Chains A and B, each alone.
Chain A
């Protein structure tokens, strides 16, 4: 069964460093998302992406964040200068575009656990 994959599974970085989190969405999906979950808190939306541009972004997604689809398969989240409060699990998700159906079910990857020290 097709699935969303993410790399790395965990990353430790120092405050102020840049990190790139990578995702490979399901191959026929056209809508892509990043969410994060700080330990013990709700899953929060960061950004959605469609047709090579950002569709929506949350207040969290400030200038230190960026997303890119560098080729036909990868979807990346870059954090330019990490802060301690960026420590969280980051989830990538994707949704198919099916004009005749269904309902935009979102499929999530296993997450990347980011620890900023």
Chain B
């Protein structure tokens, strides 16, 4: 059974710092991995999707990497801003079609002005 773990559970950094969020999964036979942002009491906003055949994806100040063989992904946030404060979730999909996502518990990020 696939298990997804995110470390750390919470992170607080000053504005302007670059930071890395970690995600690990137990079964490397994944189809893709998505990073989401969740604001308090809100839904999930997709940030990046990285296919199993890809090593990284970039969107603005965000860069996601994937090392499928070791079961790890990282989300790199450059030049952090207070508006980046949110919970970041990673989720893996194990196949095509109607396959579900399996989520980690998230990292709660606080950027201090």
Whether A associates with B in a native complex is yes
Tier of interface size on chain A: 20 to 34
Contact A105–B34 (Cβ < 8 Å): yes
Size of interface on B: residues with Cβ below 8 Å to A: 26
CB within 8 A of A104: which of B96, B105, B106?
A: B96
User: Which A residue's beta carbon lies closest to that of B49?
Assistant: A105
- For the complex, would chain A's binding face be called helix, strand, loop or mixed by DSSP majority? strand
Asked if A117 is at the interface (CB within 8 A of a chain B CB), the reply is no
Asked if A27 is at the interface (CB within 8 A of a chain B CB), the reply is no
CB within 8 A of A106: which of B34, B41, B51, B106?
A: B34
B-side contacts of A75, CB under 8 Å: none
Question: B5-53: which residues lie under 8 A (CB-CB) from chain A?
Answer: 31-32, 34, 36, 41-46, 49, 51
Listed by A's residue number, 30 A-B pairs whose Cβ atoms lie within 8 Å are A31-B97, A31-B98, A33-B100, A35-B101, A42-B103, A42-B105, A42-B106, A43-B89, A43-B91, A43-B103, A44-B103, A48-B99, A48-B100, A49-B98, A56-B99, A58-B100, A91-B44, A93-B101, A103-B51, A104-B93, A104-B96, A104-B97, A105-B49, A106-B34, A106-B101, A108-B46, A109-B43, A110-B43, A111-B42, A113-B41
A residues at B contact (CB < 8 Å): 31, 33, 35, 41-45, 48-50, 55-56, 58, 91, 93, 95, 103-111, 113
